[in-house]
Amino acid sequence: MRRKFLRRLVMVVVVVLLVIVGAVAVILLTSPLNRTYAVEVDMVSIPDDAESIARGEHLVQAVAVCTICHGQNLGGRLAFSDQFLGQVHTPNLTSGAGGVGATYTDEDWVRAIRHGVNPRGRGLIFMPNDSYYYLTDDDLGAVIAYIKSVPPVDNTEAGRNLTLPAQVALTIGASGQVMRTELIDHDAPRETASEGEYLVRVGGCSFCHGDNLDGGQGLEPGAPPGSDLTQGGILDSYTLEQFANALRFGETLDGRVINPLYMPWAGYSMMTDDEIEAIWDYLRALS
């Protein structure tokens, strides 16, 4: 009797394990990390004049704040490391050893920046392409021109090494946060009504402050909820000068400094006075 019970118990355990293994296999096969995306790439003109390259540098550093993740030299860096979840190194964008710039064509750059898809059709994780999608053709061309002009950096550490629990979590509930290409309507118009709206969109403010900028849960792990930036929200207590200080130095009205992990003010600090005022005017008109 006992032997029969043990045989049945073993069979039950085996069946349960097979079900678990099968479920994990299905999850991994359907993971956004393994999906491919077919997007139509509309090419843009890539300039080579100094003024356009300077414009691209400004956008990369101060508005799209690419340097926050890819490093000041765009050579990539360790962006995330957790003993349980694994590691993610941001790509080396230059033409140095390990850099995608050594192989990317102009079409590859447009596909990656505007649509969040690499040359193999895989989505780019942790990249806010739903914001960069709104770059104008001229600005996108300038950004690509600047990236191509950056001196080569040797860094072969780029890539991701996510654990099984991280991949399962990514597939079950976090794909939209991590694989931003899934949030893009790749055929949507890119026009904006004002410079302020354009800067807010490309700058990714909605990532933390919500689609309508009326507050939202910060999507970075551990991030506090994003403040309401519309009329009736936190900016009712700010002046333009105080708002500029928040963007440039991360200073709040009570003297605290916003954690730069959750708000990239180190990049926004390089915005011009006119750009900050345009953002201020746009936000102050939102109801």
What is the DSSP code string of 83-132?
Answer: TTTEEEE--B-SSSTTBGGGT--HHHHHIIIII-B-TTSBBPTT--HHHH
Phi, psi of 100 (to 5 degrees): -70, -20
Task: Please state, as a whole number, how many other Cβ atoms lie within 10 Å of the Cβ of residue 94.
Answer: 26
Task: Choose the most confident range, by mean pLDDT, from 14-18, 83-87, 135-139, 188-192.
Answer: 135-139
* Tens-digit pLDDT profile for residues 34-63: 778 888 899 999 999 999 999 999 999 999
CA 203 to chain centre: 10
* Encoded tokens for 260: 């730069």
Which residues, including other chains, have CB under 8 Å from residue 2's CB and lie 6 or more apart? none
Give the pLDDT score at 30: 56
Read off the pTM. 0.85
- Tell me, yes or no, whether 173 and 267 share the same domain: no
By C-alpha distance, which of 249, 245, 251, 209 is closest to 226? 209
Q: Is residue 84 included in any domain, yes or no? A: yes
- pLDDT of 83-132, one tens digit each? 777 787 889 999 999 999 999 999 999 999 999 999 999 888 888 899 99
The predicted-structure confidence for 258-278, as pLDDT tens digits, reads as follows: 988 888 999 999 999 999 999
Same domain, 56 and 155: yes
Does 19 reside within a domain?
Answer: no
Q: Classify residue 14: in a domain, yes or no.
A: no
What backbone torsions phi and psi does residue 120 show, to the nearest 5 degrees? Answer: -90, 0
| Last residue in a domain, options 183, 212, 239 | 183
User: Structural domain of residue 249, as residue ranges?
Assistant: 195-284
Res 38: pLDDT = 87
Phi/psi at 227 (5° precision): -70, 160
State the pLDDT confidence band at 82, using cuts at 50, 70 and 90. confident
- Whether residue 158 is contained in a domain is answered as yes
Residue 18 lies in a domain: no
Please tell me whether residues 247 and 271 are part of one structural domain.
Answer: yes
Asked if the structure places residue 17 within a domain, the reply is no
Task: Judge contact between 57 and 204, C-beta under 8 A.
Answer: no
- Crossing angle, helix 273-284 and helix 240-249, to 10 degrees? 120
* Of the residues 183, 206, 240, the one at which a domain ends: 183
CATH number at residue 280: 1.10.760
Cα 27 to Cα 39: distance, rounded to the nearest angstrom: 24
Phi and psi at residue 86, to the nearest 5°: 115, -160
Amino acid at 40: E
Number of domains in the chain: 2
DSSP-based three-state secondary structure for 161? strand
